[in-house]
Amino acid sequence: MSDHNQPQDTLQEVKDIRQMMERSSRFISLSGLSGIAAGIFALIAAAIARYVIFENYYNDYNRRGGFQDREFRDLKVQLMGLAAVVFIAAFVTAFYFTWRKSTKQGVSLWNHTSRRLMWNMLIPLVAGGFFILGMLQYNDWSYVSPACLVFYGLALVNASKYTLTDIRYLGYCEIIIGLINMQWIGYGLYFWALGFGVLHIVYGIVMWWRYERA
Amino acid sequence: MLKNPITGLNKVFDNRIRLGVMSILVVNDEISFNDLKQMLEVTDGNLATHLVSLEENGYIKVHKGFIGRKTNTTYSVTKIGEKAFNDHITALENMIKGMK
């Protein structure tokens, strides 16, 4: 290493430096496959939610011609349960694919880059979570879907400084969809399916194609 | 100081581990000993020796702290260190340009 007579030595040295700088400042093991999996779960969940809301709840509502407190409460419990299951399923698969990719790359999953990424993503996400829980507490369901999309988009834009920068564009798209949803209240489920389902799948495929296709 | 007369390369950075430490520190505010060890895949003793030599050159700063009872030593780059590192990179780039 002490002589720099060989061109390839110098080139290699610059490559090593660049790799070290990249590796140490950004968490690059997020897998595109986890995006695809999350998107599929979201679409399935949206389909189930649609069935539960329109087939079960509104049919009963129309047949009886009246609104019953208990049924609405049941619906809320069902939807919250569904949301929790999807979230856990998406999280577990994301973790699995990322763990697999990081093992392949030979980097550890829990280091200062992943910690920093997680922390910076969690700030807007947790704030959004409590915000939405607050809306549910006041029985206001209209803005749940746009709020989910906007806060998630902001979390991604914030996270993009600490991982592959491409995720920033996914964040922009989620924010835009959330804001459009704001003007079309009542179609939240479809916007939600577009933002969390379709976009995740598209993003996952693009990322996998660019960085992981071996 | 410590410059290779022909190429302008910094001799302190001749060593791969010292160069690695500097590469990591210029893009991170503060890094712990354990994170450095993990990223560079080196032993405690080896890393410690190189960190001491970088500190003696005034290129890095050491902060000793505690997490609970365990010591947590972190490192950051100094102004001098950043300049030396950038000069070294420029010299490398010039060499590559000259070879083409």
CB contacts of B7 in chain A (<8 Å) are: 4
Question: Does a structural domain hold residue B92?
Answer: yes
Please name every residue paired with B65 in a beta bridge, in sequence order, or none if there are none.
B72
Q: How many CB atoms lie within 10 A of CB B28?
A: 20
In a domain, A134, yes or no: yes
- Report yes or no: A7 at the B interface, CB cutoff 8 Å: yes
Mean pLDDT across chain B: 87
- The amino acid that residue A52 corresponds to is V
Tokens 């994301």 found at: A94
Residue B8: inside a domain, yes or no?
no
CATH number of residue B46's parent domain: 1.10.10.10
Interface pTM, i.e. ipTM: 0.71
Q: Has residue A10 been placed in a domain?
A: no
Residue A142 domain flag: yes
- The per-residue pLDDT for range A145-165, each reduced to its tens digit, is 999 999 999 999 999 999 988
What percentage of chain B exceeds 90 in pLDDT?
46
Question: Does residue B45 lie in a domain region?
Answer: yes
Q: Quick: pLDDT tens for A16-74.
A: 888 888 888 888 888 999 999 999 999 999 999 999 888 888 887 778 777 677 888 88
pLDDT for the residue B5: 46
Domains held by chain A: number: 1
Q: Structural domain of residue A208, as residue ranges?
A: 34-212
pLDDT of residue B6: 56
Report yes or no on B5 lying in a domain: no
> In which domain, by residue range, is B21 found?
14-99
In a domain? residue B72? yes
CA distances from A93 to A38, A41, A81 (A): 8, 10, 19
Residue B6 falls inside a structural domain: no
Chain centroid offset of residue B49 CA = 12
The 3-class secondary structure across A137-198, one letter per residue, is: HCCCCCCHHHHHHHHHHHHHHHHHHHECCCHHHHHHHHHHHHHHHHCCCCCHHHHHHHHHHH
All residues of chain B having their beta carbon less than 8 Å from the beta carbon of residue A11 are: 96
Interhelix angle A167-182/A144-159, nearest 10 degrees? 160
CB contact under 8 A, A24 and B28: yes
Residue A199 lies in a domain: yes
Question: How far apart (Å, rounded) are the C-alpha atoms in residues A148 and A40?
Answer: 18
Q: Which residues of A141-165 are buried (b: 16+ CB within 10 A; e: fewer)?
A: bebbbbbbbbbbbbbbbbbbebbbe
Q: Count contacts between A and B (CB, < 8 Å).
A: 53
Per the domain annotation, does A7 fall within a domain?
Answer: no
pTM to 2 decimal places? 0.79
Structural domain count, chain B = 1
Let me know if residue A22 belongs to a domain.
no
Both tokens assigned to A114: 């992943």
- Chain B partners within 8 Å of A24 (Cβ): 23-24, 27-28, 31, 35, 39
Best interface-test mutation with A: which of B15, B16, B28, B77 has the largest number of A CBs within 10 A?
B28
Using left for φ > 0, alpha for ψ between -120 and 50, and beta otherwise, residue A14 falls in alpha
